[in-house]
Structure 1
Amino acid sequence: MSTKAEFFARIRDQMRKTRGLFAASVATRPEHPALQADTIRRELAERWPETLEKFRREFERVGGVFYRVASVDDVPSVVGGIAREREARELVSWHSGVLGADLSHALEAAGLDVHEMPAAEAEDAASRERLRAIAARADLGLTGVDLAVAETGTLILMSGVGRPRSTSLLPPYHVAVFDRTALVESLHQVGVFLEAWHGDGAPPGTGAVINFITGPSRTADIELTLTRGVHGPREVHAIFVEGGIRG
């Protein structure tokens, strides 16, 4: 039985032998990903407005709904508006420490029944099932964003304690909140950050699952009839906070 490294090595070898069949070449692993990630951050600090505009265009092109607010204090008002338009009442959220802001009270004041994921890991299978059931019955899922990819309009979310993947996958409406620190230009840059996060630079409490979310869930049958929301949210909303989430 082959190891994971051997398995990926065979895939890379076959891709090199069949040039022209794949849209991209095989990327080389960065030698110093943490240093490269820092360089990317510094460069994007100078051109984040252009990167954000490209993200907005691509995100809307794949069916996402984009919002821009001045402060994190404006987020509950936007979420409340989304909920009212869809007659949604129940919301499940990442833990406030992971999200970067405590929005629960303001969201409740906006008329929502808020369930915040716990900061500690579930102790047993029954506790994990209870949390999944909360996410499954919720109308909206509120999350942060680890990376927002301008090239494809993709939101990248890492699962973990206080940030289960069920929050973005099970409710029919997903609302993601992010600021300029999440912006990257390309999937190549995503690879650099993921390599850097294999070391000590990963967001706190993150696990092994990484979700790449490019627009709402879409499913087509054999007759090419396209349906939204069968295997995930039927709508994805992204709220960009100009002033930063953590202040």
Structure 2
Amino acid sequence: MQANTNETQFMATLRAALGIKQDNAEKRAAQIFTSPNDPNPEQTGIVETIKSRQGKDYMGLIDHLCREAVPLKLNVIPVKDEAQVSKAIVELVKETEPEWGTKKSVVQWDHPLVNALDLKTALKGQNVPVHTAVFDSAGMDNIKRSKAKERVRQQMIDSYIGVTSADFCLADTATLVMRSRPKEARAVSLLPAIHVAVIRKEQILTNLKELYTLLKYDPDTRDPGVLPHHMTMISGPSKTADIELVMVHGAHGPRALYLYVITE
């Protein structure tokens, strides 16, 4: 069949360009596509290093993260506990204004750490509604499900602050890492003008090498047999210099990003 013939010829051309012969293709594949149950000594060492970190190690990573975040315009704010995060977000809402319109509203993930902030109660005094970007579709027909989805989408569009957590944060590049999940809409970190993320210090890693090693070789981290739709990596607020090399923040996403790191 023509499609298979073209594919075969295409792969043969690639192998020839890379110097791969058919007799060593399987050996190369085994080296690249390693088993998550069979890490080499280096990979085992990386996982053990991450698992054995103590408080002083994490404080060193936080200091490193804060330094790398400065040129990216990422506001890293170490705090003691969830109560301090909640108080800080209340002050942020009080001191900032929506980019469009005058009505303030906040949208958040349905996430244990975010829910622990109890922002609905904290912002009640300012009369600022807090929406959760999730709905229970059980028992809904297609029409009701479509209306519920549109309602949540509109709440994300109307809100000027979006509150999320993250799976990890990489100190070397000041990068938030978020794996996709049903109750953690990516749009919460993209549509509002201000993105607020909340993590614990134990979620900070050094670099991408640690991240990928942990995702593949740590049974407590990887989801066995389940691949996420995507993994979002965020390094500071949205920015572009496409027009006359002038840096502009907020062109394709949030214009400000605040990262609260719980050090308790």
Provide the residue aligned with 1:177 in structure 2. 198
CA contact (8 A) 2:198 2:260 kept: yes
More helix by share: 2
| Larger Rg, first or second structure (1 or 2) | 2
Provide the residue aligned with 1:95 in structure 2. 110
Which residue identity is paired with 1:49? M
1:117 and 2:144 correspond: no
1:66 to 56, 60, 76: 76
- Percent identity between the aligned chains? 23
CA distance in 2, matches of 1:206, 1:143: 21
CA contact (8 A) 1:44 1:184 kept: no
Q: What do the CA deviations read for 1:144-198 (whole angstroms, capped 9, x no partner)?
A: 1211101101111122122110110110000000111211011111112332589
1:134 and 2:144 correspond: no
Pair 1:164–1:198, CA change in 2 (3 A): farther
CA contact (8 A) 1:158 1:206 kept: no
Provide the residue aligned with 1:162 in structure 2. 183
Q: How does 1:2-151 map to 2 (within 5 A)?
A: 31-32=38-39, 38-45=47-54, 47-88=57-98, 89-97=104-112, 99=114, 101-109=116-124, 111=126, 112-118=128-134, 120=136, 124-151=145-172
CA contact (8 A) 2:215 2:222 kept: no
CA contact (8 A) 2:167 2:179 kept: yes
1:226 and 2:247 correspond: yes
Please say which of residues 111-120 and 60-69 is displaced more in the overlay.
111-120
CA distance in 1, matches of 2:243, 2:228: 35
Q: What do the CA deviations read for 1:71-94 (whole angstroms, capped 9, x no partner)?
A: 111111111111222125211001
Please say which of residues 92-101 and 45-54 is displaced more in the overlay.
92-101
CA contact (8 A) 2:189 2:254 kept: yes
Please say which of residues 101-110 and 194-203 is displaced more in the overlay.
194-203
Q: What do the CA deviations read for 1:20-72 (whole angstroms, capped 9, x no partner)?
A: xxxxxxx9856439966752432333511111110111122211112121111
Which residue identity is paired with 1:132? R
Mark the runs of 5 or more structure 2 residues left unpaired by the alignment. Answer: 19-31, 99-103
Which residue identity is paired with 1:105? K
CA contact (8 A) 2:109 2:164 kept: yes
CA contact (8 A) 1:117 1:163 kept: yes
Q: What's the TM-score, normalizing by structure 1?
A: 0.77
CA distance in 2, matches of 1:84, 1:62: 24
Please say which of residues 107-116 and 132-141 is displaced more in the overlay.
107-116
Which residue identity is paired with 2:153? R
CA contact (8 A) 1:161 1:207 kept: no
Counterpart secondary structure, 1:160: coil
Mark the runs of 5 or more structure 1 residues left unpaired by the alignment. Answer: 15-26
CA contact (8 A) 1:141 1:175 kept: yes
More strand by share: 1
Counterpart secondary structure, 2:94: helix
